[in-house]
Every structure is written in C-alpha cells, then in structure tokens.
C-alpha cells in the first residue's frame, strides 16, 4: 500500500473514526483503524464492536492495499503536523507502516487486516431518508434527557419510532431519565411506515451528531430490529441497537393539567440561570411562585444565602408554588426555539408539561421537586 493525502482531509476523517475507539482495549485490533487504499480514495474504518464508522477521503493512491494501525497514535501524529502538509503512507505487509510528511518520518506497528472485525454486514429491511436538519432537531432536542444510569440500560438512548397525532403519521424521538422526558417529532418519511421502535445508544447518538454538523445533505437511514445505519456522502455509521423495551412513556405525560402559564422563554431562562447561582450544589432546587401575572423565582442555600427575581407572565390560575431542579429546567428552556414557552401544571407534586407556544412537535415533561 502506498498513498499520499492532504493533512486536512486525513485529519477530518480520522477525527470522526478515532473517537469510536476506546482508550483502553483488551483486544489489540480494536485499538486500530483499518486503512484501505484504492481508486483515488482512502477508506478509514474503526469499531468498538457496538458502533462502526467508515469514512472515505480523496487520496493519490500509487499502490492499492490495506493495513491497520493504532487509531489514537495516527490521529495524534496527523494533528501535530503543520497545515498544508502532504502525508505519505507506505507499507503494511511487514508489520510496519511508514508515515512521512516534510522532514518528519514515523514508523508505526501494524496488525493483520484479517483480524479486523466486520460489523457493517446484515440485512437492514427498513430504509428511509431524512434531511440533516430534521435529524439534528430530533437529536438536539432530546439527547439531554438520555439517562446515564447503567442499571436502566433501556433508557441509555433515544427511542425512535412511528407515532400518530390527530391522524398525522409521525417519526418520533423520545428520551427520558425518570426525572424529565423529551419528545420531538417530524413528518413520517416515506419508507419508515413499517419500522420497529428502536433505541439508538447514547454513544451512537453523540458520534452521529458530529457527522451531521459536516453535511447539509440528506441522510439515508436503514435499520432492522438489532442494527441501524446512517449513510452520509462520505461516511457511514452503523450501530447495534439497545436490546430492551422502552417504557410506555405516554403514561407519564399528564392529560388533565389545568394551570397554564405563558412566559417569555429567553427572559425566563436567563432569570433561572441567575437565581440558580445561589441554590445548593446538591439539590439545585429553584422555586416558582405563580400569583396572577407575576412569577417569583427564588432559591436559597444555608452556605450561600438566597436570591429572588420577578417576571411578568400570563396566568389566570390559583396561587401555585412548585419546585424544579434548575439544571433540568434550563436544559428544557434551551431547547424551546420560539419566543414564548407554555407550562401546563396541576399541582406542586405532579409532572409539568412544557411546550413552545406555536410548535406542537416538541413536548417536555419535568418532575417537580419538594421545596
């Protein structure tokens, strides 16, 4: 194998694939990136056995071939090379790859290509296309609610499934950690009608989000009950799905909440941020007191003191005091894109529903805290 590639092109592709590779690996080949050169392009592939990314970059290939070298070592070397450098790679057959750029020369140990695992195979019968903007919206507005608790592994991802609202077919993404829930939907893409409900793992969601940032095009999605694949122009991400049943989240979305508050979203988020500076690190609780057209935000802690701030709101319900985790409250308000947020509440102990005034496609549920 012999090829020459521009540093920027190699660094961009390596940046995507190397982040899949775990720093500590008991299986040596999983620390490596597979490099395949041919037809004016180089193909980089890395996997952790659950997640697999393949990315192509344009290269000047003198001799086609393939090899595997340490992903993190190669990435560190290329990252430290000067801008505009031409990177040459040579070898792989004798257990070594020689990498040179300008006056720099590195000899890297390689492992046989046939040891590298293949995850990408298998039949993926359900296929549809979504725009990068739609996929970005589904991820950004739900992923903050993904659980990090390993014992409830079925909550460690985004639940992607077909849904129906008022007779309209939708593709809905839901995430929850038991304290808050985020549900976002887009019109159901053609081809997704028969897809099963699947749970896309947290790590796959994070890597997918990085790839979306660099494409403005459509994303081709293929899935089965055990795997999902996202195909971009130059990159393909394949991930195993979480093998578990997502809970019936509809049961925790309250239907009968009758106290409705409307508030300017950016002003509310800024006020919550300021007042929460005083709340204690453990509870991070902030109290909302609703009385007529005034909302009083307050927080106190034995170590730091207390803080209050008043906001104008639209509210015609009874006097209500309710407490929330300020970090969770901020997470939700940051996702609301419109000017006005609507809070629908029942009492101080029941879940609160938050939505944008003019957009029913996103819904958030937040459990209150005792104050």
Could you give the 3-state DSSP secondary structure of residue 14?
Answer: helix
B/e letters for 214-244, b = 16+ CB within 10 Å, e = fewer, are ebeebbebbbbeebbbbbbebbbbbbbbbee
Per-residue confidence band for 121, with pLDDT thresholds at 50, 70 and 90: low
Q: Report whether 7 contacts 68 (CB < 8 A).
A: no
pLDDT at 358: 86
CATH of segment(s) 126-251: 3.10.150.10
Q: How many Cβ atoms from other residues are within 10 Å of residue 299's Cβ?
A: 26
- The 10s digit of each residue's pLDDT in 281-298 is 767 899 999 999 999 999
pLDDT at 4: 96
Cα distance between residue 13 and residue 329, in whole Å: 37
Q: What is the mean pLDDT of residues 308-331?
A: 94
- The 10s digit of each residue's pLDDT in 37-56 is 999 999 999 999 999 999 99
Fold of 2-115: DNA Polymerase III; Chain A, domain 2 (3.10.150)
- The 10s digit of each residue's pLDDT in 158-204 is 999 999 998 999 999 999 999 999 999 999 999 999 999 999 999 99
Positive or negative, the CA dihedral 187, 189, 190, 196 is negative
CATH of segment(s) 253-366: 3.10.150.10
pLDDT at 224: 94
Cα distance between residue 40 and residue 45, in whole Å: 17
pLDDT at 130: 96
Residues of the chain with CATH 3.10.150.10: 2-115, 126-251, 253-366
Q: How far is CA 99 from CA 17, 28, 42, 61, 72, in A?
A: 19, 21, 15, 14, 14
Q: What is the mean pLDDT of residues 340-350?
A: 94
Per-residue confidence band for 269, with pLDDT thresholds at 50, 70 and 90: very high
Whether the model clears a pTM of 0.85, i.e. scores above it, the answer is yes
The rounded percent of the chain whose pLDDT value lies above 90 is 85
Per-residue confidence band for 24, with pLDDT thresholds at 50, 70 and 90: confident
Q: What is the mean pLDDT of the chain?
A: 93
- The 10s digit of each residue's pLDDT in 210-239 is 999 887 789 999 999 999 999 999 999 999
pLDDT at 133: 93
């Amino acid at each position: 194998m012999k090829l020459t590639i521009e540093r920027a092109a190699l660094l961009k592709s390596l940046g995507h694939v190397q982040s899949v590779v775990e720093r500590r690996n008991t299986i040596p080949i999983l620390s490596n990136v597979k490099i395949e050169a041919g037809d004016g392009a180089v193909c980089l592939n890395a996997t952790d056995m659950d997640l697999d990314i393949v990315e192509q970059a344009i290269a000047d290939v003198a001799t086609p071939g393939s090899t595997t070298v340490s992903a993190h070592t190669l990435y560190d070397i290329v990252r430290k090379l000067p801008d505009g450098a031409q990177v040459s790679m040579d070898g792989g057959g004798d257990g070594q790859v020689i990498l040179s750029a300008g006056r720099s020369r590195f000899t890297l140990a390689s492992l046989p290509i046939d040891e590298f695992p293949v995850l990408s195979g298998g039949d993926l019968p359900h296929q549809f296309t979504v725009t990068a903007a739609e996929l970005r919206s589904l991820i950004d507005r739900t992923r903050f609610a993904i659980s990090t608790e390993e014992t409830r592994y079925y909550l460690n991802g985004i639940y992607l499934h077909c849904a129906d609202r008022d007779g309209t077919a939708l593709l809905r993404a839901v995430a929850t950690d038991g304290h808050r829930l985020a549900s976002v939907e887009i019109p159901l893409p053609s081809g997704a009608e028969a897809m099963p409900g699947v749970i896309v793992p947290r790590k796959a969601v994070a890597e997918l989000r990085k790839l979306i940032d660099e494409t403005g095009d459509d994303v081709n999605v293929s899935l089965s009950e055990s795997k999902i694949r996202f195909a971009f122009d130059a990159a393909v991400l394949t991930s195993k799905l979480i093998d578990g049943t997502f809970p019936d989240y509809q049961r925790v979305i309250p239907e009968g909440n009758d106290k409705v508050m409307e508030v300017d979203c950016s002003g509310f988020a800024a006020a919550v941020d300021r007042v929460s500076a005083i709340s204690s690190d453990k509870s991070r609780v902030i109290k909302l007191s609703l009385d007529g057209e005034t909302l009083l935000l307050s927080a106190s802690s034995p170590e730091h003191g207390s803080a209050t701030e008043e906001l104008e709101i639209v509210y015609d319900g009874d006097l209500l005091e309710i407490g929330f985790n300020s970090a969770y409250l901020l997470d939700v308000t940051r996702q609301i894109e419109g000017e006005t947020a609507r809070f629908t509440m029942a009492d101080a102990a029941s879940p609160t529903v938050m939505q944008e005034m003019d957009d029913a496609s996103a819904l958030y549920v937040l459990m209150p805290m005792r104050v």
